[in-house]
Structure 1
C-alpha cells in the first residue's frame, strides 16, 4: 500500500480553496448574483447544515439557486468583502480533506457585520477538488 503525502494534499487543497475564496469574494463584492463562476467548486449532491436547517441539494439547479440566494443576501447587506481568517486544512486521505475557516464579512464601508465559522468537506473528484458538504459551526 503506497504512502500518501498528506502535506502535498493539504497544499493542493489550500491552493484550490484560495481560488474559491477569490472567486466568491470577487463576485459578492461586485454585487453580482449570478452563481455560475462558483458552480465548479461544488459537487452535486451536496449537503449543507446550519443550526436551523439541513438541506441536500440534489441538482445543479438547486445548487445554483442556493448560491444565488447567498449572493443576493450579501448584496442586500451592502457587502464589501470578506476575510478568510485562520483557514485550517486537514487532509483525511489522498482524495478528501476538511477545511475549517472563519469568515469575517464587511460592508462596503469596511465595518464587520458578520463572523461565521464554516467546515467544508472536500473531495478530489474526476473534475478536481469539489465541496461535498458544509456546516455552519456553532459560535
Structure 2
C-alpha cells in the first residue's frame, strides 16, 4: 500500500499539480479542499474559504513566481506517510527554474491530503520554515 501511495502522490504532485502551475490560479485551486489552510514561506498563515479565494490567492503566487522568471518546477526527495486509508502526509523539495534552466528558488513543503469521492485534495500546505530569529 505505501509504495502504491508513493507512486500515486508522485503522479499527483509531479505531473498533475505541477502542470496546473502552467495555467492559472483557478486551475491550481481545483487541487485544494475548501476551506484550506496554508503556511507560506514568509511565515504567514492563510485560511482560504472559497474556491474563488483560493483561485485569487494562487494567481497572486503564480504571478509573483513568474515575475521572478519561473518557467518550470521539479520535485525531489518525496516522502509519503499514509494516515489511514483516505489521507496522507506528503513532503517534498521543490526546485523552480527559469527558461534557461537556472535555479530561481528551492524550498521544502509538506501537504496533508484527503481522498474525496472525486480524488485527492490538499487540506493543509506547510512550507518548512527556519527557526524564527532571536
Q: TM-score, normalised on structure 1?
A: 0.82
2:27 to 30, 33, 37: 37
> Which residue of structure 1 lines up, in the alignment, with residue 10 of structure 2?
14
Find out whether 1:110 has 2:86 as its counterpart.
Answer: no
Moved over 6 A (4+): none
**What secondary structure is seen at the aligned counterpart in 1 of 2:129?**
coil
Deviation at 1:35, TM superposition (A): 2.1
Deviation at 1:6, TM superposition (A): 4.2
Question: Given that residues 37 and 48 in structure 2 are in contact (C-alpha distance below 8 angstroms), is that contact kept between their aligned partners in structure 1?
Answer: yes
Provide, for residues 17-43 of structure 1, a one-character-per-residue CA deviation record: whole Å limited to 9, x for no partner: 333344135x1xxxx5x3232232111
- Structure 1 window deviating more from structure 2 (122-131 vs 14-23): it is 14-23
2:122 to 112, 131, 134: 131
1:88 to 79, 95, 106: 79
Instruction: From the superposition, tell whether residues 108 and 14 of structure 1 become closer, same or farther in structure 2 (CA, over 3 Å).
Output: closer
The number of equivalent residue pairs is 129
Find out whether 1:24 has 2:2 as its counterpart.
Answer: no
> Which residue of structure 1 lines up, in the alignment, with residue 36 of structure 2?
46
> Which residue of structure 2 lines up, in the alignment, with residue 76 of structure 1?
67
What is the CA RMSD across the aligned residues, in angstroms?
1.8
Q: TM-score, normalised on structure 2?
A: 0.84
Deviation at 1:135, TM superposition (A): 0.5
Deviation at 1:7, TM superposition (A): 4.0
Provide, for residues 12-68 of structure 1, a one-character-per-residue CA deviation record: whole Å limited to 9, x for no partner: 33332333344135x1xxxx5x32322321111000013521110011111001110
Q: Which runs of 5+ in 1 are unaligned?
A: none
* Cα distance between partner residues in 2 of 1:6 and 1:110: 33
Question: Given that residues 89 and 99 in structure 1 are in contact (C-alpha distance below 8 angstroms), is that contact kept between their aligned partners in structure 2?
Answer: yes
Instruction: From the superposition, tell whether residues 97 and 78 of structure 1 become closer, same or farther in structure 2 (CA, over 3 Å).
Output: same
